[in-house]
Amino acid sequence: MFKQSISITVLSGFAALSLAIAGTAQAQEDVVRSANGVTWVEVNSHHAPPDFVHAKPMPLPEATISEDAVHGLLESMETDHPVLGGSGGAPGNEGTGSRTDFEPLFLGEPERDQDDQVTPRPEDWGTSNLPFTTVRADLSGLDTNTVYPYRAIGKIFFNVTSKGYNWCSGSMIKPGIVVTAGHCVAQFGKKKFQSGWTFVPGYSKGAAPYGTWTVKYAYILTSYYDGTDSCAQSGVVCEDDVALLVLNTQNGKNLGNTVGWFGYWYGGGFTSGLAQITQIGFPGGLDSANYMERTDSQAFSSSSNSNNHIIGSNENEGSSGGPWVENFGLASVLTGETNGSFPHGNTIVGVTSWGPTSLSPKEDGASPFTSGNIQFLVTSMCKKFPGSC
C-alpha cells in the first residue's frame, strides 16, 4: 500500500472559466502521492483539451558545458564504466499496425512563430566537434509516421501553470505506458507537476493517425520531484530526468497493441562508454515541429556529467523526452552473417534531457537508463497497473 498522500489543485482554462461563471463550482483536484522513492500524480478528467495549434515547445534545459566534447569522448574511452545496480531490460513489440482500431483526427496545423527563421538543414557538427546527421524522419513521398517503429513515438501536449500549453516528445515503452523526460512531467525540486497531458502517437503536421490519448497517472522519482537527485548542474544535467505516463484505454484497448512499443535497456549497451544512437523528437527549430525529426550520432557517457550520455545533434526545444534508441529500425534477416554483441533491436537507453545554452555546440544530453530509474519506475508502475504492461 502507498503510505503518504498530498493533493494539489490544478485549474485548466476551461475549469477556471466555468468557476468564474458558476460562482459555486468546485475545482477538482489532481492527487499527488509519494511512497518508496516514487512520486506520482493521478490526473482527473476535468482538464480541457490541449491547445494543439498554439502550444509552444517545452524549453530544453540549458547546460553550461563548455569543454570540447571530443576530449570528453576520449576520456570516456579511457574510463572504466562500472555497471551500478546490474543491467537488463525488456523487449519491444511491433503492434498490429491497424489503421481502423482508433479514429484518426486532424488537430490543426501548429502556429509558426513569426520570427522563426530556422531551416531544417543541420550543421554536420558544431563547436563541440561531434559529428551527426539530423534530418526529417519522413522521406520524399513516404510518410513514416504510421510505420513501426516511428508510429510508437509522438508529441506530448500538457499545461504549464500560468504559461499555457507546451509540448514534449515521448515514446511507447509498454502497451499502455509512455516514457519521456522528468522535466516534461514536473518542475525539478519545486514539488510541482505539470498537468493535463495528452499523447499523440505518429503526429504529423496536425494529423493524429491513431487519435489522441489522455493520461491517467504520471510517475517520476521522488528525488527529482524534491530536488535531491544527483546533478552535475542542478536541475539540468541530472542522473534521473526520466518519467512514465500511464495512458487511459480506449474501448478497453491499450494503444501499444496497435502502434507497438520500444524495448528498453539499463546499465549496458555502451562499450567503453560509446554507443551509436538514433534520437527522435519534435524540435521546434526544425520544420516548426510539424514533422518528426531523426538524429544519428555516436554517443559517449560522461562520468563528470552525472554519467549522462552526450551526442551531436541539432534538435532543440520540444525534443525533450524523445527516445535515444540503439539498433533503430527493422532488423535484417541474417544470411551468412552473425549479430554483434548487443543485437537488441529498437532499444531505448535514455531520453533527451538537455542541450547547450548556445546554438553553436550542436549537442544534446540524456540521463542514462539505470536500474535505479527506468527499471524502478517500470516495476513500481506495472505492479499497480498490470493491464498497462
Q: Which CATH number goes with the domain that contains 191?
A: 2.40.10.120
The pLDDT-based confidence of 81 (bands split at 50, 70, 90) is: low
* pLDDT tens-digit readout, 243-258: 999 999 999 999 999 9
Domain enclosing residue 88, as ranges: 6-388
Whether the pLDDT of residue 118 is over 50: the answer is: no
pLDDT at 21: 33
Tell me whether residue 1 is in a domain.
no
Q: Is the peptide bond before 50 cis (omega within 30 degrees of 0)?
A: no
Instruction: Name the residue type at position 166.
Output: N
Q: Is the dihedral of CA 162, 281, 326, 71 positive or negative?
A: negative
pLDDT at 67: 61
Query: 105-106 and 132-136 as β-strands: parallel, antiparallel, unpaired?
Result: unpaired
Tell me whether residue 53 is in a domain.
yes
Q: What are the start-end ranges of the E strands in 202-331?
A: 207-208, 213-221, 231-233, 237-238, 243-247, 263-266, 274-281, 293-302, 308-312, 323-326
Closest CA to 256 of 170, 383, 139, 376: 170
* pLDDT tens-digit readout, 3-47: 343 333 333 343 333 333 333 333 467 889 999 999 999 998 777
Tell me whether residue 85 is in a domain.
yes
Tell me whether residue 270 is in a domain.
yes
Q: Total domain count for the chain?
A: 1
pLDDT at 16: 37
Contact partners, residue 320, CB within 8 Å, separation at least 6: 58, 60, 61, 168, 169, 180, 181, 183, 184, 281, 351, 352, 353
Rg (CA), the chain: 20
Instruction: Name the residue type at position 234.
Output: S
pTM of the model: 0.87
Tell me whether residue 269 is in a domain.
yes
Q: Say if CB 298 and CB 311 are below 8 A apart.
A: yes
Residue 269: DSSP 8-state = S
Angstrom CA distances, 172 to 92, 127, 154, stand at 9, 33, 9
Instruction: Identify which has the larger pLDDT, 304 or 230.
Output: 230
Instruction: Tell me the average pLDDT of the chain.
Output: 85
As a whole number, mean pLDDT of residues 221-247 equals 96
Q: Say if CB 230 and CB 339 are below 8 A apart.
A: no
Number of C-beta neighbours around residue 76 at 10 A: 23
Residue 286: DSSP 8-state = S
pLDDT at 115: 47
The pLDDT-based confidence of 87 (bands split at 50, 70, 90) is: confident
Q: Say if CB 316 and CB 60 are below 8 A apart.
A: yes
Whether the pLDDT of residue 124 is over 60: the answer is: no
Residue corresponding to grid cell 551500478: 84
